[in-house]
Amino acid sequence: MKIIFMGTPDFAVASLDALLKDGQNIVAVVTAPDKPAGRGQKLQESAVKRYAVEHDLPVLQPLKLKDEAFLEELKTFNADLQIVVAFRMLPVVVWDMPAKGTINLHGSLLPQYRGAAPINWAIINGEKQTGVSTFFLQHEIDTGNILFSQSVEILEDETAGELHDKLMVVGANLLVKTVKAVEENKYDEISQQEVIAQNGLAEEPKHAPKIFKDTCSINWNKPVKDVYNLIRGLSPYPTAFTSLDGKTVKIFAAKYELTNHEVQPGNHLSDGKTYLKFACPDGFILLENIQMEGKKRINITDFLRGYRL
């Protein structure tokens, strides 16, 4: 089959690499335009573009997916199948182009956690399990018929970054399996409504909307476990934050302790040497790795050595 691959970040590179190593015929790669980044605002290529260029794959970088010139160029590759991994929402004219359709790899067990940030929200919500799913694209986002899925355990202290790396590998393998099944026409489609019915879900599936700054601000009036899950679910990016001495502090790693106390939620305690902890109604969050506004990321013991509370 002639395959066009669409993706942008590192998460997508693992899938593209797995497909090439499996001998799949990737005829072109579609990725985001180069963007200015850093202090010098130099143009930065996406991770997928860098990989594609290294492997001599044709690269398309449309500003708009409905652009006539882009659509005409896309048609010239005469692809049998398109694959989307961590890209943007496709218009019908793009995903409906190949004869065999367009497959998406999503970082959750659909229909749970449809949306832009499934890995983050699974941890924020305290889930013990998540996974990856492959499905055919259709009109509404992340609602297509499921082809295959693979579950993955979420560990007690796992961060979004660590889970991302785990799902990246599992997802790449699942995608290779999916492409082979589609090529051989050996697959069953199951609608997400059927999955809901089979699992006896009485409520609407949980969603995974885009994360904004407000999501990252810690509310110390919440239970300690909820705050701990928020910190894990936003680490290392975009990172949960709070205020210390009027300055913003990002929290990359922390532990928690459940205990009865009389400290006002949001207040902090420290011995000035080994610990800095913030109060929740039912316990404390002990900071382990942080970044003060305008400073570098640092372990808490090193921070306390040079900071007077």
**pLDDT over 80 at 140, yes or no:** no
Q: What pLDDT digit, counting tens, does each position of 65-102 carry?
A: 999 999 999 999 999 999 999 999 999 999 999 999 99
pLDDT at 202: 58
Task: Provide mean pLDDT across the span 116-135.
Answer: 97
37 or 200: which leads in pLDDT? 37
**3-state helix/strand/coil string of the chain:** CEEEEEECCHHHHHHHHHHHHCCCEEEEEECCCCEEECCCCEEECCHHHHHHHHCCCCEECCCCCCCHHHHHHHHHCCCCEEEEECCCCCCHHHHCCCCCCEEEEECCCCCCCECCCHHHHHHHCCCCEEEEEEEECCCCCCCCCEEEEEEEECCCCCCHHHHHHHHHHHHHHHHHHHHHHHHCCCCCCECHHHHHHHCCCCCCCCECCCCCHHHHECCCCCCHHHHHHHHHHCCCCCCEEEEECCEEEEEEEEEEEECCCCCCCCCEEECCCCCEEEEECCEEEEEEEEEECCCCEEEHHHHHHHCCC
143 or 94: which leads in pLDDT? 94
**pLDDT over 70 at 167, yes or no:** yes
pLDDT at 201: 62
**pLDDT over 90 at 222, yes or no:** yes
Q: What pLDDT digit, counting tens, does each position of 253-279 carry?
A: 999 999 999 999 999 999 999 999 999
pLDDT at 25: 98
In the chain, the percentage of residues whose pLDDT exceeds 70 is 99
